[in-house]
Amino acid sequence: MGILKGLKEFGLKPKTMPITSGDGHGTKCENCAELLMKKTLDDNLGVCPHCDYHHKVSARRRIEITLDENSFEERYSNIISKDPLKFKALKTYDEKINRYRKLTGEPDALVCGVGAIEGRKVAIAASDGFFAQGSMGAVMGEKIVRVIEDAIKERLPVIIVSGTGGGARMEEGLFSLMQMTKTCTALGKLHDAKLPFISICTKLTMAGVWASWAAIGDIIIAEPKAIIGFTGARVIEQTIHQELPEGFQTSEFLLEHGQIDKIVHRRGMHSAIDKILEYLCEPIATQ
Ligand SMILES: [Zn+2]
């Protein structure tokens, strides 16, 4: 693919992303403002022990939380976006993207590969809200498609986590928008191959991500109080000049109205996926 080039040229090393900003060991809950030790919050998978608010976590942490310990094998980490449109606003796209690379140690906003859940091999991808708000550009689309193609070849279920953010990356213009069709086409092939796709939505799962792969899971799971939708509530209200119902676009609202299948606490995600895969997949072969 012409707009992609190798990771090694950038000398990047993925690092553990702090789940909250600020120096030192302490932080505040983004919801209830209680003071917390960063380690306590991290040990609690990014969930506030006081109010149960699910904080944003990096893609790598998300994969770690979801899979069996040390089972993840990363794939396609060498795919990096160029700047096909030579986009420039206040900063150039290259400058912006390099800043996110330095911040996260990731080449782009998605990490993918294969791993296991209770011994069952799965293909997995997670977007990273710390990298350009988890927006989907050519790299995210390409990596999702490649990991789905691997899943079809290896007969694996697919799990994709929308890890906070979403949208199409405007700096890549149509290269970004075409990823919506491209990812859905790949998921169509997965469906034809009779392999399940579990979509996991977190706060926020919006716009181009929700309008493509995130919304077409065979099973769609959301974290509690996630915000999921195409356009933000404020923009909708300003456009239609009507007040929106209480809780609009929350997981709880969407579950009640049939747009998602299940709400699962982050601590229960691993076992919930395991149960679903037990229903949907062949039993794990025993030796
Ligand atoms: Zn809290």
Q: How far is the CA of 199 from the centre of ligand 1 (A)?
A: 26
Tens of pLDDT along 72-87? 999 999 998 888 888 8
Convert the chain into a string of H (helix), E (strand) and C (coil): CCCEECHHHHCCCCCCCCCCCCCCCEEECCCCCCEEEHHHHHHCCCECCCCCCECCCCHHHHHHHHCCCCCCEEECCCCEECCCCCCECCCEHHHHHHHHHHHHCCCCCEEEEEEEECCEEEEEEEECCCCHHHCECHHHHHHHHHHHHHHHHHCCCEEEEECCEECECHHHHHHHHHHHHHHHHHHHHHHHCCCCEEEEECCCEEHHHHCCHHHHCCEEEECCCCEEECCCHHHHHHHHCCCCCCCCCEHHHHHHCCCCCEECCHHHHHHHHHHHHHHHCCCCCCC
Q: How far is the CA of 108 from the centre of ligand 1 (A)?
A: 29
pLDDT at 193: 97
Q: Which domain holds residue 182?
A: 57-280
Is the residue at 48 inside a domain? no
Q: How far is the CA of 54 from the centre of ligand 1 (A)?
A: 9
Place of tokens 């986590």: 161
Is the residue at 25 inside a domain? no
Q: What is the pLDDT along the chain (287 residues), one digit of tens a residue?
A: 434 444 555 556 555 555 555 567 888 999 999 999 988 998 999 999 999 999 988 999 999 999 999 999 999 999 988 888 888 888 898 888 988 888 888 888 899 999 999 999 999 999 998 888 888 889 999 999 999 999 999 999 999 999 877 788 888 889 989 999 999 999 999 999 999 999 999 988 888 888 898 999 999 999 999 989 888 888 888 999 998 888 888 999 999 999 999 999 999 999 999 999 999 998 887 65
Q: How far is the CA of 24 from the centre of ligand 1 (A)?
A: 19
Q: How far is the CA of 63 from the centre of ligand 1 (A)?
A: 23
Distance CA 243, CA 256 (A): 19
Q: How far is the CA of 271 from the centre of ligand 1 (A)?
A: 24
Q: How far is the CA of 20 from the centre of ligand 1 (A)?
A: 12
Q: How far is the CA of 34 from the centre of ligand 1 (A)?
A: 6
Is the residue at 72 inside a domain? yes
Q: How far is the CA of 29 from the centre of ligand 1 (A)?
A: 5
Is the residue at 94 inside a domain? yes
Is the residue at 31 inside a domain? no
Is the residue at 11 inside a domain? no
Q: How far is the CA of 52 from the centre of ligand 1 (A)?
A: 6
Q: How far is the CA of 99 from the centre of ligand 1 (A)?
A: 29
pLDDT at 23: 60
Q: How far is the CA of 50 from the centre of ligand 1 (A)?
A: 5
pLDDT at 9: 53
Q: How far is the CA of 231 from the centre of ligand 1 (A)?
A: 26
Which CATH number do you get for residue 120? 3.90.226.10
Q: How far is the CA of 109 from the centre of ligand 1 (A)?
A: 26
Q: How far is the CA of 75 from the centre of ligand 1 (A)?
A: 35
Ion ligand 1: residues, CB within 5 A, are: 29, 31-32, 48, 50-51, 53
Q: How far is the CA of 47 from the centre of ligand 1 (A)?
A: 8
Q: How far is the CA of 27 from the centre of ligand 1 (A)?
A: 11
Using alpha carbons, select from 50, 13, 42 the residue that is nearest to residue 25.
42
Is the residue at 65 inside a domain? yes
Tens of pLDDT along 231-281? 888 888 899 999 888 888 899 999 999 999 999 999 999 999 999 999 999
Q: How far is the CA of 53 from the centre of ligand 1 (A)?
A: 5
Q: How far is the CA of 202 from the centre of ligand 1 (A)?
A: 17
Query: How many domains does the chain fold into?
Result: 1
Is the residue at 39 inside a domain? no
**pTM for the full predicted model:** 0.89
